[in-house]
Amino acid sequence: MFMLSRNARRLVVHAALLACAAAGGPVVSAAEPAAFEQVPGYYRQAIGELRVTALFDGVAFLPRAHMKDIAAKRAAGLLAWSYVPEQAAGIQTAVNAYLVRRGDSRILVDAGTADCFGPTLGRIGANLRSAGERPEDVDTVLLTHAHPDHLCGLVKPDGSAMYPNATVWLAAEDARYWLDPQVQAQAPQGLRPMFDMARRAVAPYEAAGRLKRFAAGDALPSGVRALDTGGHTPGHTSWVIEGGDGQQLLVWGDVVHFHAVQFVQPEVSYEYDTDRRRAVASRRAMLALAERSGAWVAGAHLPFPGMGHVRKEGGGYRWIPAEYSPVPGEAK
């Protein structure tokens, strides 16, 4: 009989936390005038021949207590030092996705939450269109993992494909877990809706033969490499997209959840990593790779636009956020 590990059961609470966090209300209070609302959430960055558009899906809130392997006073101090917003519901955390243009190809890394959670999330589709892009022009979707805040945006409310001409790539290890009805049947009741969300999100692509479950050594889209960064989920994947002239974009998904803390102390884990030790090892490897290579980094839960570089600092690392520079040909 298939049995879930204790760490896997943590996902039950993780799903509930994301839903509760998202249900906490809109980013702008209803009492405030509409003119105070933010402009559409997208940001452009040129990386060699790549034209990257960061897309803001919204914010969620993660309780401070879900940081593990760090003293509470130390965590509070690091958050305060970086002026990280914290509310009763938890620490404000962005959810980001990335559209990468290379020639005529458009690659989307992660797809956001769509309608799987509450009103503070689900903006990827609108922000994609605000950026002047059309979902039907996306030809490749690379998923870092199969959590709802990364793949629910693959479908429209009616269940049809949001990206009708795209091939979706998901690590076989995550697919074996999240897409298997037999695994779902043995899972705790509270976790089962997440399996439904995952299967619903990929269903139109699988029906069309455009869901690719990949493993190590499999052929991938040209100019793209998959790095095994398992730990947050069994098949969590970071993606390297080559930009030419030695430039690269490293999209590392959920390698970091608490940027003010986990750069300084990479050994700090997250309560709902399925394998905390493996997640810490993956984080250390990606931080070292980013620092050594000088690659551009894009993170799903880094402050929007979530793009920048990593520097070694003391016994840990420092996050260097992107500074705006116009994409060639873009009006200043």
| CATH assignment of the domain containing 186 | 3.60.15.10
Residue 63's CB: how many other CB atoms inside 10 A?
14
Residue 326 located in a structural domain: no
Percent of the chain at pLDDT exceeding 90: 75
Instruction: Decide if 35 is inside a domain.
Output: no
**Dist CA 47 CA 312 (whole Å):** 22
Tell me what pLDDT residue 240 has.
98
pLDDT in tens, 284-295: 999 999 999 999
Domain range for 150 is 6-27+42-216+225-321
Under DSSP, the state recorded for 182 is: H
267 CB-contact burial (10 Å; exposed 0-12 / middle 13-18 / buried 19+): middle
36 assigned to some structural domain: no
- pLDDT (0 to 100) of residue 190: 77
For residue 194, being part of any structural domain is answered with yes
pLDDT band, very low/low/confident/very high, at 16 (cuts 50, 70, 90)? very low
- Amino acid letter, residue 179: L
Question: Using the 8-state DSSP alphabet, how is residue 240 labeled?
Answer: E
In a domain, 122, yes or no: yes
Question: From CA 170, how far away is CA 74, in angstroms rounded?
Answer: 37
**Into how many domains does the chain fold?**
1
34-43, 64-73, 114-123, 189-198, range with the lowest pLDDT: 34-43
**Beta strand pairing call for 269-270 and 296-298:** unpaired
Does residue 330 belong to any structural domain of this protein?
A: no
Query: Global pTM?
Result: 0.88
332: in domain: no
Give 6's pLDDT tier (boundaries 50, 70, 90): very low
Task: Work out the burial of residue 318: count CB atoms within 10 Å of its CB; fewer than 13 is exposed, 13-18 middle, 19 or more buried.
Answer: middle
User: How much is the average pLDDT of 174-184?
Assistant: 91
On whether residue 331 sits in a domain, the answer given is no
